[in-house]
Structure 1
């Protein structure tokens, strides 16, 4: 009777083996399909990341280019307004511009026009009397608007050279405030096109420099008047400042993935795009090869499965193999550099590998029967206890935690542990297995990287990134608590002349000394002293009113006077600083924002410079200007 039953069961074994084999092949094919789909998505994601990195880098490149052009424009505007009406002023300006021609670099040319659009001076070798630019859109804008900020115009064809150029212009005024004319700098569209062609964005990929309204200023194709100044996508959002787009360009059928990045200082953006076909071309080829190999492997598995089906009756051999695997696992656990721990249901240690001697200094026999979390730092124990409770309740089967453990010599190390539940054949929990490794070096390195991310390397002060973060935090705190928030903007007077005279190493030493003075004077732990950029510093003063700002500003001025850092090109003969301060109460000025506080302090700083430097101006106060000018009020 038993023999007959055994024979019937054995006759069904090939059927069961065939079913299991079919299930395995189906699972392999399903997993392969999921893996290929995940690989496809990963390719798209990596392309988005690459496009994002490219867009950010190119945005910085354009900002640097525009900043260079803007600095030239500011210099010409200053020269025109300073020498307005003086004999020989225009010939001197023409001589200066001619001498700068060889050093313009990315800038195509610089031009100065009077109020009628006639050319006054330029870096180009042309006859000035032959040209007039009063018909240009940017000229009309400056003539009709008193706004003196930088204007970035749409591409136009140069009158002197015929090439397509991007225009950057500023208005200049006569001494009585009337419109005096326009100062213009141009950058070849072809320069950006040639520069962008250095980057590989695929056969159909594009890199476009665009104005904020979506018009194309330049791209990686040859300059085409039909494409310049026209949009290539319906709309690009201004907020957030960067993001991913999926679209089709006008007249195209190819789906594109693009990443846009708005500039922070100027009204333009960079849009880098690639077609999905270009991105996935390599993946499609490799996926085809992988699928072909997989089909061959599945066929091989089927053949092997048929062979193995004949071996299912050799249970003793399988049992021996299983025992050998268990022994190999024990050898692996005991030879591993990580600590392998068996934790029983009562949370006591049932087994621990010999590597505990190297990591913790304890022999395994000394820890058997002890609670698994007894050596954990008391502050980290609740975290581990909660993790074990979650596994016991069946919420998760595996969890990971990083915490501190005490070694035998009383020192502490950081460890990372992965804890997994183990179960009996009926599915009930019978304990845990934990694999623990020493991650002290990684934690130390992580701390160092976090410090480098928020600290200025030259001065040791907080950097611009840390300042921006703290400004948002303190603004929110002042808004909630209805308290004041003060800001000092400090700029070293005539620092460029200091660098030109004494050299950049001396300039760095000067910045370091000034930074030390600022840090010493800002004595409260809540105050933040940061290097804002170049020779400009900022001090954020939570819960500080105008009186407190004035008191600190005067202390800083006195400290700089006492330091007596030699500076022959500064009228006092030593290094001084101009200070602008502003105070606001976010809880009562709801229309304002963090940027408005910076703008107010910055305006006060420029008022301090215009007032003769080496002084402090508080936003909102009336100041006396030099040279007999009428008093001015610094906007708050």
Structure 2
């Protein structure tokens, strides 16, 4: 008997774990998908940072290359201007004729397709010497910034103008001051670099449609841009791009929007110490294009994986539920009497063991009725087994109609014997229920050749050293007492030695 209680506890534990398994499966599936998502998410974030860093390095290298080319050209042309300034300081220069003087001044002048002629202007801004002509034109540049800056700022050094029309072509003008021995202003030496130089330089680059390259003077003036936008040339872009930030750091980057197209870009500069600063911009859409495609591909794979996991989870949950339902059905079949639908003896033993221990813990009474059909063998011999089965079913219906509480357990022990377990019920209440069942069977059996039942009732408070078999033995003795007293009656066992009280 005790072994059956242990078996029931093990079975309940297994059943509890099986009931948890669908939730555990769902939890495991969710954790798996979230784990994969977290790993893929961290990888994608790292790939995004790498894409940004790669774009920054690439743009910085491009800016560095372009800046080196442009500023090397500017320095080369500036050497020609310096040579002319140094030659003008020679006292013997005024004593030679014009041809020799031009040879001295412009002997080291750089010549290239995109370089303009070098010109010397006197202190009043009049053109005095022109490397491209023996007879200089009568022009005055006293109002031009490249003249006034050199006149008003003795220590300015090389001046680079904004884009302007110079000698019939868009150019930038470079100028240097010519000073006397005592520092007085004697004029300037000026030359130009045509825009065709920048256009040819940029044409050799393979740029994306939204890439931008800008060449900026240190005061923030835009002198060249690709794609070419004439309306922006000469404008001050200091407020737009934060020129103060560029001048405060030799190299760096920032994120901003284009002034015309409003496209968000990463802007990179490589060397802000040069006379001309090169700023390279690349669209963020282009920077993250490959990353975005890879993210979509990985996201699609992850979504497919999640769908597959969800599909398998649903399938296994349904399979678990189906098996659980089948197991419950098998359990019902294993613990239910096939003829009467009442609990069978095996289930009853487990139930009474559990309720006995519960009554012992709570110190409440527990009652038991054993019911037996009177003269059932004779009835079976007279009317046949089929009629006998109908009688047993009728008795079971009368018992089930009377036992209504959730904790009560009605069982068929086998043959014509039944048992009813009544937790928490004293002897008086149990006897009343026994009489109710007996009277229902008697009333029903009027049409069944007068079949009746005898009932043995016992109720007791479990003791620490007692087993529930004591209760069973008392109820069984009360049943035999009912039989001895003439059947069709209920007898309650007042105590273990006195079993003769008849209701």
The equivalent residue for 1:207 is 213
Deviation at 1:20, TM superposition (A): 0.3
- Which deviations, in whole Å up to 9, do the C-alpha atoms of 1:112-150 show, x marking residues without a partner? 222233333334368522433223211122233333622
Residue 229 and residue 128 in structure 1: after superposition, are their counterparts in 2 closer, same or farther (change >3 A)? farther
**Residue pair 2:77, 2:109 contacting (<8 A) in 1 also:** no
- Tell me, in whole angstroms, the C-alpha distance in 2 between the residues paired with 1:80 and 1:92: 13
Cα deviation, residue 184, structure 1: 1.3
TM-score norm. by structure 2 comes to: 0.53
Displacement after TM superposition at 1:197 (Å):
4.3
CA-CA distance at 1:10 after TM superposition: 4.2
Normalized per residue, the structure richer in helix is: 2
Instruction: Give the counterpart of 2:259 among 240, 250, 257.
Output: 250
Name 2:302's counterpart in structure 1.
294
Q: Does 1:220 align with 2:232?
A: no
SS at match of 2:79: helix
- TM-aligned CA distance change 1:221 to 1:125, over 3 Å: farther
Q: Following TM superposition, by how much is the alpha carbon of 1:231 offset from its aligned partner in structure 2, in angstroms?
A: 1.8
Distance 2:106 2:276 in 1: 30
- In the superposition, the TM-score normalised over structure 1's length comes to 0.43
Could you say which residue in structure 2 is the equivalent of 1:272? 280
1:582-621 alignment runs, 5 A limit: none
Kept in 2: contact 1:143–1:181 (CA 8 A): yes
* Deviation by residue 1:170-208 (Cα, 9 ceiling, x = unmatched): 111345654322111211233224323444553222111
**2: CA distance, partners of 1:14 / 1:134:** 91
- 8 Å CA contact retained: 1:208, 1:270: yes
Structure 2 SS opposite 1:109: coil
- For residue 258 of structure 2, give the secondary structure of its aligned residue in structure 1: coil
C-alpha change, 1:239 and 1:175, in structure 2 (3 Å) is closer
Give the alignment of 1:405-424 within 5 angstroms: none
Q: Is 2:59 the partner of 1:51?
A: yes
Matches within 5 A, 1:180-199: 180-199=186-205
CA distance in 2, matches of 1:102, 1:242: 30
1:163 and 2:164 matched: no
Q: Is the CA contact 1:245–1:260 (under 8 Å) kept in the aligned structure 2?
A: no
Q: How many residues align?
A: 308
Match 1:260 to one of 252, 269, 291: 269
* Residue 124 to residue 225, structure 1, CA distance change in 2 (3 Å): farther
Q: Of the two, which has the highest radius of gyration?
A: 2
Do structure 1's residue 110 and structure 2's residue 137 form an aligned pair?
A: no
Q: Which runs of 5+ in 2 are unaligned?
A: 1-6, 321-503
* Mapping for residues 473-552 of structure 1, pairs under 5 Å: none
| Residues 1:89 and 1:178: Cα distance change in structure 2 (over 3 Å) | farther
Q: Corresponding residue for 1:236?
A: 243
Question: CA separation in 1, counterparts of 2:63 and 2:183?
Answer: 41
Change (3 A) 1:127 1:24: farther
Q: Could you tell me how far 1:210 is from its partner in structure 2?
A: 0.9
Greater RCO (Cα-Cα under 8 Å, separation 6 or more): 2
2:88, 2:105 within 8 Å by CA — same for their partners in 1? no
Q: 1 CA distance for matches of 2:194 and 2:231?
A: 13
SS of the equivalent of 2:74 reads: helix
- What is the DSSP-based 3-state SS (H/G/I as helix, E as strand, rest coil) of the residue aligned with 2:137? helix
Work out whether residues 258 and 273 of structure 1, in 8 Å CA contact, stay in contact via their aligned partners in 2.
Answer: yes
Residue 272 of structure 1 deviates from its aligned partner by: 1.6
RMSD after superposition: 3.3
Once the two structures are superposed, what CA deviation does each residue of 1:364-413 show, in whole Å capped at 9, x if it has no partner? xxxxxxxxxxxxxxxxxxxxxxxxxxxxxxxxxxxxxxxxxxxxxxxxxx
Distance 2:79 2:59 in 1: 30
The answer to whether structure 1 residue 5 and structure 2 residue 13 are counterparts is yes
- The farther-off stretch of 70-79 and 4-13 is 4-13
Residue 300 of structure 1 aligns to a residue whose secondary structure is: helix
Say if 1:126 and 1:259 are closer, same or farther in 2 by CA, change over 3 A.
Answer: farther
Change in Cα spacing, 1:118 to 1:139, as seen in structure 2 (3 Å) is: same
Partner of 2:498: none
| Offset of residue 226 of structure 1 | 4.5
Aligned to 1:619: none
Q: Which of 19, 35, 48 pairs up with 1:27?
A: 35
Residue aligning to 2:68:
60
SS in 2 for 1:253: coil
Q: Take 2:132 and 2:108, find their aligned partners in 1: how far apart are those partners?
A: 11
Residue 136 of structure 2 corresponds to 128
Where 1:86 maps in the other structure, the secondary structure is: helix
- Which moves more between the two structures, 31-40 or 147-156? 31-40
Question: d(CA) in 2 for partners of 1:88 and 1:283?
Answer: 69
Determine the structure 1 residue equivalent to 2:335.
Answer: none
Is the contact between residue 262 and residue 268 of structure 1 (CA under 8 Å) also seen in structure 2? no
